[in-house]
Structure 1
């Protein structure tokens, strides 16, 4: 099992200057190696019989690849002696980052999804370097020993768990200082332990995640989102407005940039902390947690443009949708459902089950009849007598769907309209 613990470093002035110099040198070499790959790709990406006769034919050379660029580090240290100050593992990790960024652009990841074209790193855009190997006993009291950086004081707010070995260290520069992330490994604990829990009415809970109520549980609990970004939006706008009146590159401009970055960091940390606390409460409440299998990126897409017969663009509601998209980003629904909640559940031996979200907001949780509602309708009223908030109705229905209730819809013969669904369990 792998864990990642992050601690704040308290380096001396000399150590800070050395790490900043490392980042700058690594950034320059990263850009050079990436440019070398782009140069070869532009000259050799098409076959010789497909090239136009008017183009200049480049001299054939070996394609830049991971191991070839790693071997070039020997010549780099000989030509530029100041690169000898950087640890070998840190330099090799930089080459690996170049290979990973370019490979995802050309071939895609394991699922075939390609990333965008890698960008060259500008100043302050390269903020991390990694040691692929560190001593298992690198923590000595309140100091951590990193190769060539010697002992650095750090805040050990939690100890390394028994049985885990330190395998890797990543040093990151953030807006409020330096941090180290330690990768811990315990081979005796499986990465994905099998959790065999049979969902029942008593040991399960359904959770509907939204914007009005971040979590509406089937047991009646309703949790409103704190809206960390919305609370700081006015302060953030004032800082950004002040920055626009400063000369770009000046000391005042850089200081305001730093204040804006620290405010963004505070917002993100508050949101993440609240997500972990809420996930802990849900895990303590039930052994099986049913949630919707949402793809939040689809919910936050831009509206399609509308045109009349003459080709003139018409209002498409994107102005209102932009505020909704900002609320989606502020809530952090995707990170909570896909990362934090499954992580907390796995650590506690609980089970998170994703169910099909189709129909969970358009049916009654009591009689299972269809009750059409618009997005603006926030209250559920049914002919069977059920009356409750819309999100609470969805939470109850999510639990029923997770326990086996199916919502089926059949079309009328010869008609494209949908008939009221027949719900079977």
Structure 2
């Protein structure tokens, strides 16, 4: 089983500067690959239903795919890369090679979803060029990652080319979990890290403790203290629970047992404050220090709204699962209501 744990980083000033430089290099590398794909696609495609009056005469070159673009990295690392519009000099040697290869993979996946679609045939929109605010994460993977916990309060990770970083260990790691990949994310209130863990013992324990339907319940449940746990419960009037959305008043969910769950309305409560900050920011000069400060306040407010929604969703799910009953709802109907303007925020 593979799952992710997110922790907050406590970085030094030097480490923050290094990660910001790496993000800038990865952002440039992402936009450069995306531009090459768009140029090749525009210059080498032809319309099937008409003849174009104007056509390109491009230089013959291979289609820029994942392996073709990844081969450019050794050549780019031979010298500093000059950014045309800003005059920056970027050194690709300071960034771990696997991190740059993950950027190539990210471009490949986004462009593939745009052209071919996912497994269900649903196509995504045209990939965007990333600015500083949109490109916020980097992936590190490899055998050089190791972890140790000191005192249970802090977790120390060793990342390539940056050394030991300090992680706020608010949630203990499961025993037997193996660290496979790390993702460093820059948010409005600081730096975070996602630890991708693999634990094969979870599936083995689950399979060994599921009772056989043709025999009585396995005694393994009694040893683990799970009580009368039954994974396959036949629904009845006594152990079933129905819920439906409420589109009026201050409630957003009604349960068949006769009570309603209140609506959070995190966005509507912060809407006026958010509008004032956004209006003040729009009058400031682009690139100024005052505009960056207001943009930071706006981003933190959006983050508070998102976190409040996430916490409210978990609390609601916990309240429903705490009843120990089977829950029924209209799945297809909710998918339609999500796109509606009547959904409460």
Q: Post-superposition shift, 1:257?
A: 0.6
The unaligned stretches of length 5 or more in structure 1 are 302-323, 331-425
Query: Which consecutive unaligned segments of at least 5 residues does structure 2 have?
Result: 81-89, 211-230
Q: Secondary structure at the match of 1:31?
A: helix
**Equivalent runs, 1:250-265 vs 2, <5 Å:** 250-265=288-303
CA distance in 2, matches of 1:102, 1:233: 35
Q: 1:171-195 CA deviation, whole Å, 9 max, x = no partner?
A: 0000000000111111233499894
**Equivalent position of 1:109 in the other structure:** 118
Cα distance, 1:57 vs structure 2: 2.4
Shift of 1:226: 1.6
Secondary structure at the residue paired with 1:214?
strand
Distance of aligned partners of 1:260 and 1:231 in 2 relative to their CA distance in 1, 3 Å threshold = same
Distance change (3 Å), C-alpha of 1:135 and 1:328: farther
Match of 2:175 among 133, 151, 162: 162
1:124: how far off?
2.4
CA distance in 2, matches of 1:169, 1:122: 23
Q: Tell me the residue number matched to 1:56.
A: 56
The alignment's TM-score, normalised by the length of structure 2, stands at 0.82
| Per-residue deviation, residues 56-102 of structure 1 (Å, max 9, x unmatched) | 32232111111111121111111338211101111110000110111
- Contact 2:241–2:326 at 8 Å: present in 1 too? yes
TM-score, scaled relative to structure 1: 0.67
For the residue of structure 2 that corresponds to 1:18, the secondary structure is helix
Other-structure match for 1:188 = 201
What displacement does 1:49 show?
11
| Cα contact 1:134–1:146 (8 A) shared by 2 | no
Aligned CA distance change for structure 1 residues 9 and 60 (closer, same or farther; 3 Å)? same
Query: Distance in 2 between the 1:52 and 1:244 partners?
Result: 42
Matches within 5 A, 1:69-80: 69-80=69-80
Deviation sequence 1:192-246 (CA, Å, 0-9, x none): 9894222122222111133442221111121111211111112111211221232
Shift of 1:248: 2.3
- Structure 1 position 13, deviation (Å): 0.3
Match of 1:209 in 2: 245
- CA distance in 2: counterparts of 1:202 and 1:284, whole angstroms: 15
Distance 2:115 2:344 in 1: 29
Q: CA deviation at 1:135?
A: 5.0
Secondary structure, counterpart of 1:40 in structure 2:
helix
**Aligned residue number for residue 85 of structure 1:** 94
Q: Give distance in 2, aligned partners of 1:263 and 1:162.
A: 36
User: Which residue number in structure 2 is paired with residue 381 of structure 1?
Assistant: none
Q: How many residues align?
A: 307
Contact 1:166 1:182 in 2 (8 A): yes
Q: Is the 8 A contact 1:205 1:286 kept in 2?
A: no
Asked whether the equivalents of residues 7 and 157 of structure 1 are also in contact (C-alpha less than 8 Å), the reply is: yes
| Paired residues of 1:93 and 1:132 also in contact (CA < 8 A) | no
CA drift of 1:52 comes to 4.2
User: Kindly tell me: are residues 115 and 329 of structure 1, through their superposed partners in 2, closer, same or farther at Cα, counting changes over 3 Å?
Assistant: farther
CA shift in 2, pair 1:107/1:133, >3 Å: same
Match of 1:13 in 2: 13
User: Residue 275 of structure 2: which of 233, 237, 245 is its match?
Assistant: 237
**Is 1:198 aligned to residue 234 of structure 2?**
yes
- Does the 8 A contact of 1:10 with 1:154 survive in 2? yes
Q: How does 1:5-404 map to 2 (within 5 A)?
A: 5-46=5-46, 52=52, 54-80=54-80, 82-133=91-142, 137-141=146-150, 142=154, 143-190=156-203, 195-212=231-248, 213-296=251-334, 298-299=336-337, 325=341, 328=343, 330=345
Kindly state the Cα deviation for residue 53 of structure 1 after the two structures are TM-superposed: 6.8
Give 1:295 shift: 4.9
Aligned partner of residue 202 in structure 2, secondary structure: coil
Alpha-carbon spacing, 1:19–1:295, altered in 2? closer, same or farther (3 Å): farther
Compared with structure 1, are the counterparts of its residues 14 and 207 closer, same or farther at alpha carbon in structure 2 (3 Å cutoff)? same
Partners of 1:30 and 1:98 within 8 A in 2: yes
